[in-house]
Structure 1
Amino acid sequence: MPLKNYSMLKGRPINNRLGSGANPHYQVLVSDGEDQYRIAVNVESSDGSEVEFLVRTRFDHPITQQLLEYDDGLHRLPSAPGGAALDFIRANLAQPWEFKPLPLSAPGPDNDLNEKVDAFVQRAMADEGAMIYAFGESWGPETKADKIFGFRPGRGIHDIHFNQGNPPGRFAESNGPWQDGGLIFHFPRSSQWSAVFLKFQTQSWHSDDRSGEPIVPPQTPDRDRIPPFDAPDGLVRIVAALVNDVNSPEREMVTLLNTSDVPVDLSGWTLRDKNKNAMPLSNAIAPGATLVVNVAAPVSLSNRGGLVTLVDGNGVKVHGVSYTREQARQPGRTIPFQQ
């Protein structure tokens, strides 16, 4: 059963509390100009294990243009593609190998999860033009005061993390696609977006498109077992794309890289755009070689920003990238991808 109140909160961070205690959450007090809310961010798993984190200091993704259209305050979001809902996998927000486990707190600077989140919150509080966007499940308004900051009525948003791929058990009921949590920061004065994404180590990266249930158990890709392989993540990567051509008729091309030391047969694989349109692939890529794929209908790469996703013959995502309107602005230029 997916989250019941999947939402996005937009506002100004005005106070904070570091995570501590038996059920530690990093807490942020947010104002939308009229009402106050609390963001509760898990910084340690309920079993005591370290949470995996990903920080994007420069977050370039087409979703940022949509976020600017929202007024300050709490907004219910449909858990579906095409809107502002987050999905780490399907919106190509991250790659699984980018997530690193960190302790709640540790001696020394910039080496624990409290400090990673706090760095962006402190910067946003010090910048009057900065905004925070928190994604997760909302609660309230409650009849009592908030238990952390004391404002009335208590309300806020939590589950600020990956919300799918949970194994059978107490958290499986919250599985669902297009309902992931996260923190996105906007610093208009420096024209910068930043993001913090969190994931539990027990959660599988690959999940069913309809239920969010795990389809591949959590594991680290074993590069020595391909082919065959159990976790295909990053085996073949999308390294570049031409989406805005100067020729007529316009061409669109995607460049793939085989990162392995063996040939990879792409028969049965597909390339997909932001609307899930898919075109079949063929051919094989030699070890360490690249392959330029001419994009054909029904797949189309929009000049206004979009997604490109590579899916193997088992229907499992291998790699995915995103690009913005700004990146596609100059005709004839190929966009490089580094993830």
Structure 2
Amino acid sequence: MPLASYGVVVGRLVRFAREDPDDFGSWYHGKMYIAAPAGEYECAVDVSTPSGVPVQYREVRNLNPQLFASTAALNDGWHLLASTPTSGALDYIRSPLLRGSGGCVTVVYDPLFAWLNEILKSPRFGWIDSTADNALNLLEQRLLGCERVYVFGAPYSTGLGVHDIHYNQGDPPGPFQHLDGIWQDGGTVIQRPGGELTAVLTKFKPQSLTTDGNGLPL
């Protein structure tokens, strides 16, 4: 059974904060506060766990603006998204958007270059083990001076906020696998001045990056 509700909150960053590393709940978060017509949304990004389950993060730069156009056209606020390839939903494995645009450099075709380029754009490449600080340092740096923020995940059950801002499939058997599904991954897309789009993604290390049509690990 996938997440009960999934979508994206769009708006202007008000501030970024870190939880007290010596005083937090079940997970350690960085928190983005996003201004929207309904009020200020708290968006909590998991970067560490007291249980020792490792967290990883990845940055994807130069997202193709054409592939993001429908989401960029949304008004500020919370928007429900269907778990489909055409709704604007994210899927770390399946989204062409999360392979980046590759820039605008023209090169002579070379098989070795093409092979290397595909590896670099693979959803399995570029994951870094989070120490909490390194993930939050990157997120905070990319948010600095941003024009607009798009935070994908599940809404809080009470109050304005978004959680599950991470990979939501590929879990091993256990307490979270029943929430797995495709086209429902969380993440943060940051729009920089000039229109550049950057995604900051997180996952738990035990989650598999090879899944079936139900989001279960293969």
TM-score, normalised on structure 2?
0.81
Post-superposition CA distance 1:291-334 (Å, at most 9, x none): xxxxxxxxxxxxxxxxxxxxxxxxxxxxxxxxxxxxxxxxxxxx
The residue aligned with 1:135 is 152
CA distance in 1, matches of 2:143, 2:8: 17
1:213 to 187, 212, 216: 216
The amino acid that maps onto 1:214 is P
The residue aligned with 2:117 is none
The residue aligned with 1:310 is none
Answer with 196-205 or 37-46: which moved more.
Answer: 37-46
Deviation at 1:29, TM superposition (A): 1.0
Residues 1:26 and 2:30 are matched in the alignment: yes
**Consecutive unaligned residues in structure 2, runs of 5 or more:** 100-122
CA distance in 2, matches of 1:47, 1:100: 19
Q: State the superposition RMSD in angstroms.
A: 1.7
1:175 to 157, 175, 180: 180
Residues 1:120 and 2:169 are matched in the alignment: no
The residue aligned with 2:196 is 192
Deviation at 1:61, TM superposition (A): 5.6
Aligned residues: 190
Q: Moved runs in structure 1, 4+ residues, more than 4 A?
A: none
The amino acid that maps onto 1:29 is Y
Q: Give the number of the structure whose residues are more often helix, by fraction.
A: 2
Larger of the two Rg values belongs to structure: 1
The residue aligned with 1:306 is none
The amino acid that maps onto 2:9 is L
Answer with 3-12 or 88-97: which moved more.
Answer: 88-97
The residue aligned with 1:2 is 2
CA distance in 1, matches of 2:53, 2:125: 18
The residue aligned with 1:71 is 75
The residue aligned with 1:263 is none
1:52 to 25, 33, 56: 56
Give the match's secondary structure for 2:144. helix
Give the match's secondary structure for 1:25. strand
Q: Higher relative contact order by CA 8 Å / sep ≥ 6: 1 or 2? A: 2
CA distance in 2, matches of 1:46, 1:133: 28
The residue aligned with 1:100 is 128
User: For residues 72 and 62 of structure 1, do their structure 2 counterparts lie closer, same or farther at Cα, with a shift above 3 Å needed?
Assistant: same
2:170 to 165, 172, 188: 165
Aligned-residue identity in percent: 29
TM-score, normalised on structure 1?
0.53
The amino acid that maps onto 1:213 is L
Give the match's secondary structure for 1:8. strand
Asked if the contact 1:50–1:104 (Cα under 8 Å) also holds between the matched residues in 2, the reply is no
CA distance in 1, matches of 2:53, 2:177: 18
CA distance in 2, matches of 1:186, 1:66: 14
Answer with 25-34 or 193-202: which moved more.
Answer: 25-34
Post-superposition CA distance 1:130-158 (Å, at most 9, x none): 00000000124x3xxxxxxxxxxx31101
The amino acid that maps onto 1:57 is R
Give the match's secondary structure for 2:173. coil
Asked if the contact 2:47–2:56 (Cα under 8 Å) also holds between the matched residues in 1, the reply is no
